[in-house]
Structure 1
Amino acid sequence: MQIRKDLLLKYNQAGPRYTSYPPANYFHTNIGNAEYQQAIVQSNSEMPQNISLYVHIPFCPRLCHFCGCTTSGSRDKDLFRRYIDAVKKEIENVAGLIDKNRKVSQVHWGGGTPNSIPLEMVQEVMDLFRANFTFESHPEIAMECSPAYLELEDIDRLASFGFNRLSLGIQDFDANVLKIVNREPSKHPVEELVARMKQNGFDSVNLDLIYGLPGQTVDGFRKSIEKAIEISPDRLVTFSYAHVPWVKSAQKVLEKTGILNASEKLALMEMAYDLLTENGYVPIGMDHYAKPEDELTKALVNKKLHRNFQGYCTRETTGQVYGFGSSAITQLENGYYQNTKVIETYIASVNNSGLALERGYQLTENEKIIRTVIEEVMCNLFLDFEAVAQTYKTDVATIKQVVGYDAAKLTPFIEDELLEIQGDQLRIHDDGSLVVRNIAMTFDPQLSVKENTYSKTI
């Protein structure tokens, strides 16, 4: 695919990433524990029936300057102990509200740096999950890991706990770039870590890279991509660095080194795209790549790709998500419910009431329709109004009215040959996938882009 830089720069505007609809900036504090408990009970009678469990570990031995995650620099094992005890208590309270006939198809550990806490604590939580929930025969159990703190023996232990997917946060193989952003390099050669995972029979290995970091050049980042290809992970992610110092003040440090402009970032993205696709990786959504035999690729081909706050996944694997830990977000059919981000407040709240809800958002029926439409556009690069209408037992005219459909909004994309419309179906071309956020925004009747609200789409 020939990436047309002029078009990408043309569409380089601020907009939501749409990991949820409405986006997280719509969440509010007018929801309490009672409403949250009621929503959990209600979720038992809603689709999908399968369960996804998310655990947030808000600790990192060292804080990276680029990070936008909710985390804290800590190596305090006493704090880890109190935190995990609170997580376990929250799990037991939520599990008591969930129908025991429903099955867990997915478990995801994120952070922060989940592998920075003692692994026996990870085992405690996994054992508690199995004691309180029924698991499918082969669930996806994944963890985000920093290779700076990952021993080869840790991979063996995680496998013994049931983990079958790991994502390694490499960000860049260039030691100078890592130094600029205050990130420690991998403790062991990444190829040895990946080989150990494959020896343990892991279903999938993922490497995460970031483009747009200070100090990166096209030639330097090319070497990182080439090394990643040589290691041959099942999936590879090239996240775009989102410079949002109004949200994460620590990012201001990077301004002293120099933030890459849109053209410089675009050159990195173009090089990575070309190199990865030339070597057999299939583009998935905005920033993921997978091998042709990977289940994400198959889901994309079958138009069954899905996305939540943890990333791209398949509809078969992903259920309604129940989140545990500080800042964790529960994603149900009826809404989103987020815990407090402050660690000590989270611990105290769980110990006091069993839950730690801080804010959330409950969807209207119309918002559920909009969510489905935007998800189809963002994930599958395809939209069939008739199929959406059948899902919601209504007609195409109603669906179009709900999303504020205006064909004129799509005219620029059609003229630029980024998408086509045939009847009630919209199909996004390969190069249109690079501006899919912009296309999705045309189906969001509530969208209001204010300064310092969203990152740029490129």
Structure 2
Amino acid sequence: MINKAIIEKYDQPLPRYTSYPPANYFKTDFTADDYKKGIIASNAKEPQAISLYLHIPFCPKLCLYCGCTTLITKKEELIESYIDAIKQEIKMVSQLIDLTRPVTQIHWGGGTPNALSTNQIGSIMALIHKTFKIGKTTEIAIECNPAYLTTGYVNELMDMGFNRISLGIQDFNDDILKNVHRDPSKLPVEELTALIRSHHAGVNFDFIYGLPGQTVSSFKDTIAQALTIRPDRLVTFSYAHVPWVKPHQIPLEKLGLPNAADKLSMYEAAHDVITQTSDYQPIGLDHYAIPSDPLSIAINSHMLHRNFQGYCTRETTGQVYAFGMSAISQLNRMYAQNTKNTTEYISLINKGEFPIERGYNLSPEEHITGEVITELMCNNYLNWEKLAHRLNTSENEIKTITDYRPEKMQTFIDDGLLIVTDEALTITEAGRFTIRNIVATLDTKLNSGNKRFSKSI
């Protein structure tokens, strides 16, 4: 059971720490030349593996909960121009990359990647296979809205080499989907899952809690239904209400959003039904995986990692080279984000210019802080000696950079959320739900500027 008193005590606005520093620290004076230098420098940095991310912003309709960078259009001329631009950007970036480096991850995100035709996707995949070193074990994943998936479409994706599909189901209740302007799955999800598995591919289910019309009981039923289908991975995302960033979310307030207590109860109900009635391994705060999944194996050996593409293993993670409007590249010491304007993105690419809008060069201290936070966020554990060895530095240097002092963490120790020894930090099962609060004590930048964040839990 989740201790609600603990949750209430620590529920405060904090970064999500899916990257460090968070994206709201990126600077607009970061230039295309900075990005080019970063790509060249990345060839000599670790990890040597390459991760490719492709952002497809197009959606046939706008889901009101959406926090992604999207474009609602069916204009084929615009979509074709965008596809040509992505292919050109791939060529531009690949000229600066050591192409003997292996590609371990390819991820298509959005938007709705399957808003494209399979011919359009296939033309980009053909270029990637022609350009980069793709292996038999490379994970090639795509996020899909099941409302637009057919048997033929899935079969064609598999023929291109895709081996993992994430299905954005969000909820099995059609009335709740209607509230947020999302269409239900075209095929029964059981049938869709069986089809994907027939190709020996992995399947993920994504759900959102905190939407209008959802109740604790209804969301628990949705998760119970998912468990009967048994995806390889299951995710329960907390709806982030940020109308100051996404004004289209405002109508959801009129429908009535669940309050914080109900939202917590939804999370608790989902967590309990997953962990108490199945053998799924919790991954981070909101992911779950079957025992044989690489993520489960990785977390049990403290080898789980995370980048902008999501959770991965230390063996498969790569420096992320991202393509498309708003896409964020995540290199060893650099973040670089493309313009969020689709027309501008296409125009700059057609001129042979990198479409960089903002970015960030990490200092050595920020790089180390990010590694510390990522290690704890992913593995609920940090061994100072092992991390120092991996980062080629000393334990004392890491502790100094993060201003680590056990007394700063005393409240977590007293509440049974954290175990501190000379060798390591271990986050307890109860502490997993306050992990953002725990790692925030190691973030020396947190109170250095006027940044706005969603609540930690």
TM band (smaller chain):
over 0.9
For residue 250 of structure 2, what is the aligned residue in structure 1?
A: 252
Match of 1:272 among 270, 273, 287: 270
Residue 352 of structure 1 and its aligned partner are, at CA, apart by: 1.0
User: CA RMSD for the aligned pairs?
Assistant: 1.2
Q: Is the 8 A contact 2:32 2:353 kept in 1?
A: no
Q: In 2 relative to 1, CA 354–89 (structure 1 residues): closer, same or farther, beyond 3 Å?
A: farther
**Is residue 419 of structure 1 aligned with residue 418 of structure 2?**
yes
Report the TM-score, using the length of structure 2 for normalisation.
0.98
Structure 2 match to 1:397: 396
Check conservation: 2:24, 2:451, Cα contact below 8 A: no
Q: Which residue of 1 aligns with 2:214?
A: 216
1:122 lines up with 2:121 in the alignment: yes
Q: 1:451 offset after TM fit, Å?
A: 7.6
Would the aligned equivalents of 1:14 and 1:449 in 2 still touch at CA under 8 Å?
no
Equivalent residues in 2 for 1:135-146 (5 A)? 135-146=134-145
* Paired residues of 2:144 and 2:167 also in contact (CA < 8 A): yes
Q: Is the 8 A contact 1:89 1:354 kept in 2?
A: no
Can you give the 5+ residue segments of structure 1 that lack an aligned partner in the other structure?
Answer: none
Q: Please show how residues 133-282 of structure 1 align to structure 2 within 5 Å.
A: 133-202=132-201, 204-278=202-276, 279-282=278-281
Distance 1:334 1:368, change over 3 A: same
Q: Deviations over 1:203-232 (max 9, x none)?
A: x10000011111100111111011101111
Do the aligned partners of 1:15 and 1:449 also contact (CA within 8 Å) in 2? no
Identify the residue that residue 434 of structure 2 maps to in structure 1. Answer: 435
Label 1:353 to 1:140 Cα distance change in 2 as closer, same or farther (>3 A): same
Aligned 1:38-117 pairs, distance under 5 A: 38-117=37-116
| Structure 1 residue identity aligned to 2:219 | F
Task: Measure the CA separation in 2 of the matches of 1:214 and 1:99.
Answer: 49
Give the share of equivalent positions with the same residue, in percent.
Answer: 50
Q: Match of 1:397, as an amino acid?
A: N
Q: Which secondary structure does the structure 1 equivalent of 2:89 belong to?
A: helix
- Measured in 1, the distance between the counterparts of 2:293 and 2:129 equals 27
Shift of 1:269: 0.5
Secondary structure of the residue aligned to 2:34 is helix
Alignment of 1:375-394 (within 5 A): 375-394=374-393
The 3-state SS of whatever aligns with 2:351 is: helix
Equivalents in 1 of 2:344, 2:27: separation in Å? Answer: 18
Deviations 1:49-71 (CA, angstroms, capped at 9, x unpaired): 01000000001101111000000
Secondary structure in structure 1 of the residue aligned to 2:329? strand
**Inter-partner Cα distance in structure 1 for 2:353 and 2:151:** 36
Q: Which residue of 1 aligns with 2:362?
A: 363
SS in structure 1 of the partner of residue 54 of structure 2 = strand
Aligned-pair distance for 1:311?
A: 1.3
Residue type matched to 2:387 in 1?
Answer: V
Aligned residues: 456
Deviations along 1:267-296, one digit per CA (max 9) or x if unpaired, are 001100010112111110011000111110
Aligned 8 A contact 1:378 1:436 in 2: yes
Is the Cα–Cα contact under 8 Å of residues 60 and 73 in structure 2 kept in the other structure? yes
* Structure 2 unmatched ranges of 5 or more: none
Whole-Å Cα distance in 1 between the matches of residues 149 and 353 of structure 2?
A: 32
